[in-house]
Structure 1
Amino acid sequence: MNKRVLAVALLTVFLLLAMGCVLTTLMNRLTSGNVQTTRERIAIEIPSPSRATPYPTLTPRPQADSPTSLAPSTFRVELSESDISALVGEEGLSRDGLQVRNLRVTITEQQVIARFDAAHASSGLSGEMTVIGVPQVVDGKLYLQVIDFSLGSSFSGFTRLIANALVESVLASYNTGDGIPVPIEGVNEVTSVELLAGRMVVTGTHH
């Protein structure tokens, strides 16, 4: 698994709070084909009963040049602040009338902080948003526990009330109790996530 896949997954969770789109659908579209499998498939040939051997045997026949272990491959991905921020800078982000730009990510030993400017065409809402979250691993899956969010000064009065209500509604819809799921395509199990100054390290296994 490469770090771009993880960056897209984490970024999607942050943007979910602004756009309210379906997380898994977006992840499947963004990460399709980015994860490469390293374990080759093994074909098993079952002997015919007419063979003159005392015990049937299973003959592994590798489809590639050399056999490899059936165990899932391990991965270790180190994700920096710039890895996540660069996604918006490189590609831009626009979906369902929402445009996101100027993403700034700060990773401390306690939390991940994302600041970005968002504008929604149909509602006319626009301004800066700040989301603070803590990633955690539960039963082999990665989650982001959102501990706080805030809106910039451009959100004021009744508009601020509406925007707050929308974000809280999205949080309630996607929060599983362990946080918001961060589905990473091609990953079998996430074993650990560690926050360091300026970077995040995720380990696990993939197919």
Structure 2
Amino acid sequence: MDGLMGMVDTAVTSPWFYLVLFAVAAIDGFFPVVPSESMVITAGVYAASGQPELAPVVALAAAGAFLGDHVSYLVGRRAGGRLVRAARPGTRRHAALGWAGRTMAERGGLILVVARYVPGGRTAVTLTMGAVGFRLRSFSLFAAVAAVSWALYGALLGYVGGVAFEDDPLKGVAVGLGLALGVTAAVEVVRFARRRRRGPVDAEVADAGPVGSLEGSGGRRPAARVGPMPGE
């Protein structure tokens, strides 16, 4: 255990850690198997002792998350046209397109911010927002809010654990991760409760396909329109 903690200490206090943190946060935006949240929390724990510094941790984690979300959005935007053209009126996919467009047009920004706290969900939402043609300017605004709030949340969770367990960073990391898992569980419970309250028709449309396959249009264009994407 002492050897493991020594390796963690060396890695987190290295000047290269900032660059690695940025890269991991960015990759996690479109490849959600990278533990970016755990890394931010761990950085927050060690920031309580002064190295790394808290402000750069928050800034670089937020910048990386913002970049990764835009990569995912652009991938969805590129693939969206093909999926839209393949949807025939009257099919489940066509119904899903209209549902996705209406949902994103009405509350896409809120969904994006909340999804940043759901591992895997953030990528599905950003892909979908690109596919349905949600306005890039609006997407960037909400992505910035989501990225900054997420970075602050993770770093401060770790920082609180680091202050509480100054002489035992491992316990600080455990407390930070435990709190993060608790928040994620609470979000999932709320989502489950909302799904249960939906009517059978809405539930059928919502389940017409995986979130990442839904198409429509967003921003200020008519939400239910299904047709070629702009520029295609």
TM-score, length of structure 1 as denominator length: 0.29
Higher-RCO chain (CA-CA 8 Å, sequence separation at least 6) = 2
When Rg is computed on C-alpha atoms for both structures, the one with the higher figure is 1
Higher helix share: 2
